[in-house]
Amino acid sequence: MRKSAKSTLALAGTLALVMGSFSVAPGVASAASAVEEGKKISFHKKKGNCLACHKIAGGVAAGNVGPALVNMKARFPNKKAMRDQIWDPTARNPNTMMPPFGRHKILTEDELDKVVEFIYTL
């Protein structure tokens, strides 16, 4: 390998180390991306389709069958309880119109977790 190529590789390695030291705190970027992905899933007509029944900030042509999704942290202080509600709402209310997104495998566990992260920000 030529000297200039070695120097370029060394400089690239040093730059990568320096840039890595200025990275976002672990979990912050992934949490933000989980919220964004959850929003996409929630608004996607063939996935979450939450807008079919719920009014959500930023959504268009929202339904009014279910309650508006606002102030979710106050309504569900325990995030797991909210996840359980989305996973199978019939556990709390056998007569609900809301589909059991987890139990019926409408969403994967990963998709469900991302939807919960998004809904919890509302």
At residue 61, the pLDDT reads: 84
pLDDT tens digits, 35-49: 999 999 999 998 889
Dist CA 89 CA 84 (whole Å): 7
Using a cut of 0.85, tell me whether the model's pTM lies above it: no
pLDDT tens digits, 62-98: 888 999 999 999 999 999 999 999 999 999 999 999 9
At residue 80, the pLDDT reads: 96
How does DSSP assign 13-46, residue by residue? HHHHHHHHHTPPPTTHHHHHHHHHHHHHHHH-TT
- Structural domains for the chain: 31-119 (1.10.760.10)
CA distance readout (Å), 50 to 4, 16, 38, 85, 96 = 56, 41, 11, 13, 15
Check if the beta carbon of residue 18 is closer than 8 Å to that of residue 30. no
Dist CA 33 CA 36 (whole Å): 5
pLDDT higher than 80, residue 18: no
